[in-house]
Amino acid sequence: MSLRRGSAQPTIDDVLYEAEMALTDPEVRRSREHVEALLHPEFSETGSSGEVYDRERMIEMMTGESPGEVIIRDFVAAPMSEDIALVTYRSVGLSGQEARRSSVWIRVGERWQLRHHQGTRVPDRWGRLH
């Protein structure tokens, strides 16, 4: 995989953007098989509430809910090594709630898997969290 823009092959930004978007796709989230393929066996998440989730709990949550539409802004994939990348972006839900997010992706064989994710809600201009 090329890490340069403009090459015939998808860039790491392209691949990981698509992977992050897949995690918001209702069809992907309903499929345990698809979610398992995206989450690393040692996956963990620190949610915006501060609660920590392991892989199994996250799979149960994702396959049992219907997510709303999410817009991703300011997406950056920063390679940390050939097989590890740090992704950062802002997400905005339909309610207008914004969060700053970071993900650590690890390449396992030919595919990338999410190892850790963290989200922090951003207060609105009046300091309120939705």
CA dist., res. 102 & res. 47, Å (int): 11
What does pTM read for this prediction?
Answer: 0.86
* 101-108 contact pairs (CB < 8 A, 24+): 103/16, 103/20, 105/16, 105/19, 105/77, 106/40, 107/82, 107/83, 108/40
CB 106 within 8 Å of CB 34: no
Closest CA to 123 of 94, 105, 100: 100
Domain ranges in the chain?
12-122
| pLDDT tens sequence for the chain (130 residues) | 334 455 578 999 999 999 999 999 999 999 999 999 999 999 999 998 889 999 999 999 999 987 778 899 999 999 999 999 999 999 998 888 899 999 999 999 999 999 999 999 987 766 666 5
Closest CA to 16 of 92, 114, 118: 114
The pLDDT, as a whole number, for residue 48 is 83
CATH class for the domain made up of 12-122: alpha beta
